[in-house]
Amino acid sequence: MFRTRRALADGREILYFDARAVARDAVDGRDLPAVATRSQLRFDPLLGEWVVVAAHRQTRTFLPPADQCPLCPSRPGRPTEVPESDYQVVVLENRFASLATDVDRGVPTAAPGNPLAERRPGLGRCEVVCFTSEHDRDFAQLDRDRVRLVVDVWAERTAELSALEGVEHVFCFENHGEEIGVTLDHPHGQVYAYPFVPPRVERVLASARRHRAATGRGLFADVLAAERSGPRVVAADEHWTAFVPAAARWPYEVQLFPTRQVPDLPALDDAERDALAEVYLDLLGRFAHRFDTPMPYIASWNQAPVHEGREEWWLHLQLFSLRRAPGKLKYLAGSESGMGAFITDTDPEDVAEQLRAVTW
């Protein structure tokens, strides 16, 4: 993999990733205003969780027509976020970032009127990962070599962002489909470098520690061993196992675990990355062909925190959709949104059987 680092007109970084060496010398000639990230963290004392306040993002780009897509390559008379006329994989700093390294550090220590609601600067980084220059090609339609390149990019960005001062967790993810809430149609994902450990990771890590204290065994290893021999496996090979979790929250949900315990994507070896490209395309294909139209989905990489709990963690992917039937979505209503108590509309064993049966 070859990386070329350049700068956009407003100073943001753009990185080109290619399978072979390519000259990347195009210059961003746009007249852009300086980026001003005014985000901050506020602590919820009741839940014990951090919330990112980023009101400046209200003006971000929202579903432009294809001929005005900012993530397509530039062409004469139509400059975009990517100055080159073509590319393989591109990573750029988000123009409307929730977190940034140059954010204002001088925020007050608490929210107005509530000393328990601690405040911190919104320090971190938000990146956009463009999987292909082709606007109308979904991730599920990429070839294996391109997916392998994306896997290497995820790993490279995780390693580099983990080394930034103040970063505690790196999250690689893709939102796919308007029903999920994407604001750009171009095939892309994102990487967030958080200055805190996000709530899900904290909860899972706490569960793993309780399990080890009670049994002397690893929680992730026990879950994976049970699922590999159970009725909910969707796909498996020497290196990876994909299964519908026994207590799935979403109508269609799959978790993907490597056979070997590793904390994050950079720790995967070449054989595991090769196999991941194959099995990931297989899973996305099943989601794309389960119904008459492709399912909207979120692909969420659960990596270890940068500093704590790495010896306990086991890398895994959550791939889930809120589509429960043709033309019907699962909405997070009172129980889910108000109390965080999920009520699922599908049976996990049935979902696994349905996904195994998908052909295309």
Looking at residue 34, its pLDDT comes to 87
236 burial (CB, 10 Å; 0-12 / 13-18 / 19+) is middle
Residue 21, judged by CB atoms within 10 A of its CB (0-12, 13-18, 19+), counts as exposed
Which domains does the chain show, CATH number per domain? Answer: 2-27+39-196 (3.30.428.10), 200-357 (3.30.428.10)
Q: What are phi and psi of 154, to 5 degrees?
A: -55, -45
Per-residue model confidence (pLDDT) at position 104: 84
Tokens 């971190």 correspond to 124
Instruction: Quickly state the pLDDT bin for 59 (edges 50, 70, 90).
Output: confident
pLDDT class of 56 with cuts at 50, 70, 90:
confident
Residue 148 confidence (pLDDT):
98
Helices (H), ranges, the chain:
144-162, 199-215, 219-228, 270-289, 339, 348-357
Percent of the chain with pLDDT over 90: 94
Burial (Cβ within 10 Å: 0-12, 13-18, ≥19) of residue 57: middle
CA distance 6 to 23: 12
Residues with catalytic annotation?
A: 188
Compute the CA torsion angle 5, 72, 280, 324 (nearest 10 deg).
140
Which pair of tokens denotes residue 227?
A: 């699922």
Q: Which of 147, 120, 167 shows the shortest CA–CA distance to 303?
A: 167
- What is the C-alpha separation between 184 and 205, in angstroms, rounded? 33
Decide: helix, strand or coil at residue 283.
helix
- Mean pLDDT to the nearest integer, 313-327: 97
Per residue in 340-355, pLDDT (tens digit) is 999 999 999 999 999 9
Q: Can you give the pTM of this predicted structure?
A: 0.97
pLDDT value at residue 105: 86
Buried b (16+ CB within 10 A) or exposed e, 169-205: bbbbbbbbbeeeebebbbbbbbbbbbbbbbeebbebb
Per-residue confidence at 6, pLDDT binned at 50, 70, 90? very high
Residue that is written with structure tokens 């196992």 in the block: 241
What are the CA-CA distances from residue 15 to residues 4, 125, 159 (Å)? 6, 14, 15
Instruction: Answer yes or no: is pLDDT of 38 > 90.
Output: no
Question: 130 or 55: which carries more pLDDT confidence?
Answer: 130
- Residues 254-267 have pLDDT tens digits of 999 999 999 999 99
Least confident of 5-14, 18-27, 51-60, 68-77: 51-60
pLDDT digits (tens, 9 = 90+) for 68-108: 999 999 999 999 999 999 999 999 999 999 999 998 888 99
Lowest mean pLDDT among 33-37, 92-96, 355-359: 33-37
For the residues 52-70, what does the mean pLDDT come to?
91
Which pLDDT tens digit goes with each residue over 212-228?
Answer: 999 999 999 999 999 99
Rounded mean pLDDT of 171-198?
96
